Amino acid sequence: MCCASDVFAGRSTFHLDEVHFPELSFMRLLLNSSIPLFPFFQSQDERYAFIAEWYDTNASLFRRYELLYYPKDGSVEMYDMKNRCRFLNRIKYEDLQFKDLFVGNKITIFSRHLNLVDYGDQYTSRMLGSRKERTLALLKPDVALKLGDVIDMIIRAGFTITKAKMTKVSRAEAIDFYADHQAKPYYNELLEFMTSGPVVAMEILGDDAISRWKNLLGPANSSVARTDAPNSVRACFGTDGIRNVAHGPDSFSSAARELELFFPSSGGRGPANTAKYTHCTCCVIKPHAVKEGLTGKIIKAILDGGFDISALQMFYMDRANAEEFYSIYKGVVAEYAEMVVELCSGPCVALEIRQVDPEKVFRDFCGPSDPEIARFLRPGTLRAIFGKNKIQNAVHCTDLPEDGLLEVQYFFNILDN
């Protein structure tokens, strides 16, 4: 006979219909698990379960946890799956939002960086898996000067940008991408246009994302869009049926295929970035600004300021990368440790900025590192407008002229490879 202590000691889940039948074997309990045991006894609050992975650098291995999230009060709870024990007692954690919880995302809980690799139970999968869709938002060459406006429009529509990369499409890649358009009379013109300049590929996530993104885009012909869907992306920024701002897949299978072209599931690099490594400096939109939906607004401000964004990519930094990138500040800046924690707390967006004497001009454009001082001395700067405090000050920019190229290379040459 199996006693309660056996169940608690040996596993973390059991099936509801077994509560009244303690004579069932432990093996049957183990094979028929479906509902977390500890949360069942502790609380009847609605909760969502995920399988999370953390890379233990000391042991050089991945450790798996069951992460439970309670939307009622924003609390979290964690269980070590290998050792079958509680890892983190239920505690309110305000830095984690419900919208951040989806398979494939990287989150941070008390400085521990976790990859959400799967749903933890059928309830969570049923409630969240069918609603959250991924699709491709491909911003075309004609959107270069309005890049910030379009990204901001996407964010304000409720989408989450989970991957982003500026790249240049080759003719062969364009032929592969637009294989379904070969019979169209505008096919050759479309290929010429798509290879004429950089594009920005983004994976966007949201409820019914495929259909909602198509609706936000509006009719393919921008002139028609201005009549039939005046608030759509193409109505606002498009020119005609070819130069129509952006592309969106029209089905789940198309979305999967097209995302694979730009963001291979194998973890491969995908198309090359567009970094030029000349007359450049580095800007990093910090994780807090990305989470707050400020990416588009910051990019718009940079472009409106007369700067050229020649490369763009979203990165998920781990602690080792963040410490390495900020190494010149170690022992020099009192906030070094907090800066590291912020940089690896979520996705950041790295930009290659180009202009004459870019390091000094762009550093002045960003303003003092303390937003309070910036708002007093230089109220029109990026940090004055978008920053919160010395750690969450919206953007990092290169401080030393000789480091501009090095920082750009760190992101677009080292990390991207």
Amino acid in position 294: L
Length of the chain: 417
Active site residue 247: yes
Contact, 197 vs 188, CB < 8 A?
no
Distance between CA 41 and CA 7 in Å, rounded? 13
Cα–Cα nearest to 91, from 105, 108, 110: 110
Distance between CA 248 and CA 139 in Å, rounded? 9
Q: Which of 113, 181, 247, 279 is catalytic?
A: 247
SS3 sequence, the chain? Answer: CCCHHHHHHHCCEECHHHCCCCCCCHHHHHHCCCEEHHHHHHCCCCCEEEEEEEEECCCCEEEEEEEEEECCCCEEEEEECCCCEEEEEEEECCCCCHHHCCCCCEEEECCEEEEEEEECCHHHHHHHHCCEEEEEEEECHHHHHHHHHHHHHHHHCCCEEEEEEEEECCHHHHHHHCHHHCCCCCHHHHHHHHCCCEEEEEEEEEECHHHHHHHHHCCCCHHHHHHHCCCCHHHHHCCCCCCCCEECCCCHHHHHHHHHHHCCCCCCCCCCECCCCCCEEEEEECHHHHHCCCHHHHHHHHHHCCCEEEEEEEEECCHHHHHHHCHHHCCCCCCHHHHHHHHCCCEEEEEEEECCCHHHHHHHHHCCCCHHHHHHHCCCCHHHHHCCCCCCCCEEECCCHHHHHHHHHHHHHHHCC
Structure tokens at 248: 């969106």
List residues with catalytic annotation: 247
